[in-house]
Structure 1
Amino acid sequence: MTQVCLVGSEGVDLRTELVSRETAREALATYDPREEFRNSLTVETISLGSAVALLNDLNWYLVRFADDALILEPSVSETEWLSRDLAAAVRDGEVEPETTDQYLKVYGVTDDDELVEPMFVARRDDGEIPGYDLRDVDDTVVVRVAESEFGR
């Protein structure tokens, strides 16, 4: 299953904002939303294509209430998420899945399971990822991004 994780903007209760609006509520009606992280909403979809389509359906709300939209596609990586732009490029055949791992955005995960301060890094030649150093965190979430997104 492909997962979609919507990262809410600071001070926004993303679930409340989405379910209080008819179009967003209808788009999410066939899914079972859960909080993967404290400031997020995660759903499982059947494919990369359906994940990208869901994000397209929710775009008006994402622009207003979310800081990021991530997709975890097992055929690309079991542990590293894809940015929305990169996922769409993979779906459209513009990018080969095996070439998606160079540019990364790494979120810190605090002890209360909140995603914080993304840091852009490039994977080293040895395959290692530079450590997260923006603050002390309990864990990290790695997001593969397109070269055009790197650092913006």
Structure 2
Amino acid sequence: MAQVCLLGTPESTLRYELLSRETAREALATYDLREPYANSLALDTVSIGAAVSLLNDLNWYLVRFTRAALVQSDSVSEGEWLSRDLATAIRDGEVDPDATGTFLEVYGVEEGRPEDPVFVEREGEWTPEREGYDEVLVVRVTEGEFGG
């Protein structure tokens, strides 16, 4: 099982933008949609591969209306998300899931809204501090995303 979470851009209303367009609406029709954060959309898929495939199908909309497309799979981490690029690399066998978790993008969540992320390089058993946030959203990223 894998989850997908799309974080909308501040200037868009993500749910409206996706569901008002026929192609995106049809791609999402079979999923139970949730909104875990303000201006977000989340759903469950059967695998990382299915999650990446759905994100590929929605790419035109993701480029225009999202600031992040995230995938979470308990087979990689029970509490941390994967960037779309990292999920794709894992699906394609280019990256061993056990070799992830060093490069992170961390969002503080305040009043249901993920703030701008910071990049953190994890060393050892690092755990993110909440530092006044209601929640912390940790996303594993590729080394290329981290450096770029």
Q: How much does 1:151 deviate?
A: 4.3
Other-structure match for 2:3: 3
- Please say if residues 15 and 39 of structure 2, whose CA atoms lie closer than 8 Å, have aligned partners that are also in contact: no
Structure 1 position 149 matched with structure 2 position 145: yes
In structure 2, the residue matched to 1:32 is: 32
Q: Provide the residue aligned with 2:59 in structure 1.
A: 59
Q: Report 1:68-79 matches (<5 A).
A: 68-79=68-79
Within the alignment, does 1:127 sit opposite 2:117 as a pair? no
Output the TM-score relative to the length of structure 2.
Answer: 0.95
Paired residues of 1:121 and 1:130 also in contact (CA < 8 A)? no
Could you list the runs of 4 or more consecutive aligned residues of structure 1 that deviate by over 2 angstroms after TM superposition?
A: 129-133
The 1:151/1:119 distance shift into structure 2, 3 A limit, reads farther
1:104-126 deviation per Cα after TM superposition (whole angstroms, max 9, x unaligned): 0000100x2111110000112x2
CA distance in 1: counterparts of 2:121 and 2:135, whole angstroms: 18
Q: Following superposition of structure 1 onto structure 2, how do residues 86-105 of structure 1 map, counting pairs within 5 Å?
A: 86-105=86-105
TM-score (norm 1): 0.93
Give unmatched runs, 5+ long, in structure 1. Answer: none
Structure 2: unaligned runs, 5 residues or longer: none
Q: Distance in 2 between matches of 1:99 and 1:123?
A: 12
Percent of counterpart pairs with the same letter?
58
* Root mean square deviation, CA, Å: 1.3
